[in-house]
Structure formats: C-alpha cells, structure tokens
Amino acid sequence: MTLLPVPTTAIIVVAAGSGSRLGAGAPKAFVGIDERSVLRHALDGVFAAGPAQVIVVAPAERAGDAETVLIEAAGDRRDLGRVVVGGETRQQSVAAGLRALWGDITTVLVHDAARALTPSSQIDAVAQAVTDASGVIPVLAVIDTIKRVDAESIVAAVDRSELAAAQTPQGFPRELLAGAYAAALASGAEYTDDAALFAAAGHPVRHVPGSPLAFKITTPDDLDRARHLLGGTRDSFSAVPTIPRVGIGTDVHAFGGEGDLWLAGLQWPGEQALSGHSDGDAVAHAIVDALLGAAGLGDIGQHFGTAHPEYAGAHGDVFLARTREILAEEGYAIGNVSVQFQANRPRFSARRAEAEAVLSAALGGVPVSVSATTTDGLGFTGRGEGIAATAIASVHPIR
C-alpha cells in the first residue's frame, strides 16, 4: 500500500439519517441508486477528490455496513477513513464526526451523503476556498420565480437575485467550527445547516458555484432523477436497454437588441444585446432545436415562435424548462447536451461553469457542456455582426 502524507483536510460525510421522506424501508444512505448505494456514490465522489481524512457518520445499527462501503470506496486510501455513530439530529451527527478528527486537520468539510452525485471538483473547490477566518459553501442560483404565500394567496414577490440554494460540502477552518459547535451545544440551538451555525458564532461565510448534480436525494422523485442521471431508469435496470437518439440544432442572432446581452442562460452586463423575438439567446435556442430534433418533435418555431406571444422576451431557462416538459410528456428523458457558439465577444471561459450550471438546472440536472470559439475574423461572426451556435443533444425513451 502506498504511504500517503497525513492530510490537513477532513471530510465528514453525514449518513446517519433515517430517510423518512424517501420511505424506502431502509436508512437513506443504504438505499441503492443503481447497483451502488447512495453512500457508495457519495464516497466515490469524496475519494476522487484530493486526499482527506474521511469520517462517515452512520446509524448505530448500520455501522458495520458503512464500514464495508467505506473500504470498497476507499481503495488505496482505506487508512484515511473511519466510521462513527451519529445522533438524533443532523447537528448531533456532525458533532460526532468532529470528535473523530485527527490532530493535524485544519480544514473541515461537512457533506451530506444524500448529495450522492456531487462532483469531486465541487469538493476540491470548497476545500481550496476555505480560509483561516471564513467558511465557504456551494450555492446554486434560484431559477424559479419565488413568491411569499399564505394559506390561499400570493402575499409578495421575492427578488430571486438575492437568493441562492445552499448545497454541501460546506467547508470551515477547524478551530472556528469546533468553537461554533461548542457554542451551539451550550445554547441548545439547532441550525438548518453548518453555515448557519458557523455564522451564528459571528464568522463570515462565502460562496462558490454549486452544481445541479449536487442535489439532495430527499424524495422518491429525487431518487428517480439520480437513476436517470446515471443512465438508466427504474425500468431499464431490469428491462431492455433503450437506444439513445441524437439531434442537432443551430441558431443565429444578430447584435442590435435592447439592454444587456443574454447568452447561454446568463446576463452579460455591458455586452451588446442580440435581437430576436425572445432575448436572442442563440445558445439556448440551438439546444432547444437539438432536443426537439432528437425526439422527433418538431422545432423551436413550432413550439415557441411568434404564434406564442407568451415567450416574447423570455430567457433561455424558460425555453429549456418547457422543452424538457414537452419531451417528458412524449416519453423522452434527456441524456446530455453539448453546444458551441461562435463569437468574438463575450469572453466566455471565466463564466463557463456558471453557464453550464444554469443550463443544466433548467434541463433538470443533465450534463450540459458549452464551448466558445472565434472564427479568425472570418464570416459574420468574425465581423462582429452576430453570434451563431450549434448544439447536439441525446435523448432516450423512458417508456
């Protein structure tokens, strides 16, 4: 076995919940997604990230099973892992994990096993962003329009630009987190997540971009979504594999619209806008045509054209979410999307992850990759007259 240097980062994977909302007849972490359990998938992501002490917090009656899963997932790194028994609440389970930290640990990440498909890059990004004085959490932009409601009515609109959905792992400097946990224990306060507990002790928490893949498996629908993302549906695990279909879509818009540019689901302040019936987001529109084409369901003009005034001015996420619905109504799930646009501007690479997260979220969490290229000054994109995008998508029948 390879001798590894003692890590200074630890990841506490909380897996001691009962999974009452999932209702699968077993603690959630031990429910199968495919042939692998929720905990196994979560640990595969954890062990694919940079070396860290890994503490799995399990229900008392499942500690032995957790040990087996840990050994299988850890491979070469089994010396870095151990299992401890959790408590009644998530907060108590994290506290149990904290008691098992090695002396050398300076950075602690707390991660929900239930976020089983979290990319290892998200774990690394959080670990790297923790400082001596501040915590960090991954967040996703809120896509839906949010309302404050009472029993019957809409009470108020809420500005979603001020909101974000928190994910895990959440990372903290060890000493400050231990102090914050001690304070919470002394006061008896229960917090909804570690960031809230850490902030209540007076420490700042910053955010980094999360991933749609880091969604928490909470309900049976979430488990189905995880199964789709792993390439199979509940039925297709036992039945005939389905044959994927692919489609292609292109779109072009000229510069010349009002306001800021909207492209790849993002607003680009200060960049020249594209003209069009909607916001002119050629990237989103090319994806829509690729998806509709893959499923044999017509094209964007048919479903969203000028005969549909409700889409005037609509942004790409609205088109994509509706396209996903149209496909689902016809029995298709989306496999993946790859899209490339040609333009001199905007400079894209710094916002690639953000664009991919927004487009992916609008499509229910499927992988979306976006690339950009210039055309060496040639053609209308080279002359800076507009933007062209080409997308390819795969879909598969789900019944």
Residue 97: how many CA atoms within 13 Å on its side-chain side?
Answer: 30
**Could you give phi then psi for residue 291, rounded to 5 degrees?**
-70, -45
Q: Which stretch binds Mg ion (CB under 5 A): 9-17, 91-99, 283-291, 385-393?
A: 9-17
Q: What is the dihedral of CA 112, 118, 124, 127, to 10 degrees?
A: -20
The minimum distance between CB 12 and ligand CTP, in angstroms, equals 9
Task: Considering only residues 263 through 322, tell me which ones interact with Mg ion, judged by CB under 5 A.
Answer: none
Closest residue to ligand CTP using C-beta atoms: 17
Q: Which does 21 bind (CB under 5 to 8 A by kind): Mg ion, ligand CTP, none?
A: ligand CTP
Q: Which residue lies nearer to ligand CTP by CB, 16 or 261? A: 16
357 sits near ligand CTP (criterion: CB under 6 A): no
Task: Considering only residues 12 through 41, tell me which ones interact with Mg ion, judged by CB under 5 A.
Answer: 17
Tokens for 81, please give them.
């892992």
Q: Which residue lies nearer to ligand CTP by CB, 129 or 166? A: 166
- Nearest-CA neighbor of 91 among 193, 215, 178, 217? 193
The minimum distance between CB 114 and ligand CTP, in angstroms, equals 4
19 sits near ligand CTP (criterion: CB under 6 A): yes
Task: Considering only residues 217 through 276, tell me which ones interact with ligand CTP, judged by CB under 6 A.
Answer: 218
Q: Which does 287 bind (CB under 5 to 8 A by kind): Mg ion, ligand CTP, none?
A: none
Number of residues that bind Mg ion (CB under 5 A): 1
Q: Do residues 97 and 112 lie in contact, with contact meaning Cβ atoms separated by under 8 Å?
A: no
Measured CA to CA, the distance from residue 119 to residue 227 in angstroms comes to: 16
85 sits near ligand CTP (criterion: CB under 6 A): no
216 sits near ligand CTP (criterion: CB under 6 A): yes
The minimum distance between CB 70 and ligand CTP, in angstroms, equals 15
97 sits near ligand CTP (criterion: CB under 6 A): no
Q: Which residue lies nearer to ligand CTP by CB, 141 or 217? A: 217
110 sits near ligand CTP (criterion: CB under 6 A): no
- Nearest-CA neighbor of 16 among 75, 49, 60, 50? 60
Number of residues that bind ligand CTP (CB under 6 A): 23
Burial of 167 (0-12, 13-18, 19+ CB in 10 A): buried
Report the residue from 4, 6, 20, 149 that binds ligand CTP according to the rule CB under 6 A: 20
Task: Considering only residues 179 through 198, tell me which ones interact with Mg ion, judged by CB under 5 A.
Answer: none
Burial of 343 (0-12, 13-18, 19+ CB in 10 A): buried
Measured CA to CA, the distance from residue 307 to residue 325 in angstroms comes to: 19
Measured CA to CA, the distance from residue 208 to residue 62 in angstroms comes to: 33
Report the residue from 50, 72, 79, 89 that binds ligand CTP according to the rule CB under 6 A: 89
Measured CA to CA, the distance from residue 192 to residue 181 in angstroms comes to: 13
Name every residue whose Cβ is closer than 8 Å to that of residue 265 and which is 6 or more positions away in sequence. Answer: 281, 283, 284, 315, 316, 317, 320, 355, 358, 359, 362
The 3-class secondary structure across 30-84, one letter per residue, is HCECCCCEHHHHHHHHHHHCCCCEEEEEECHHHHHHHHHHHHHHHHHHHHHEEEE
52 sits near ligand CTP (criterion: CB under 6 A): no
Q: Which does 167 bind (CB under 5 to 8 A by kind): ligand CTP, Mg ion, none?
A: none
* Residues that bind ligand CTP in the complex, under the rule CB under 6 A: 14-22, 28-29, 57, 86-90, 93, 112-114, 216, 218
* Residues that bind Mg ion in the complex, under the rule CB under 5 A: 17
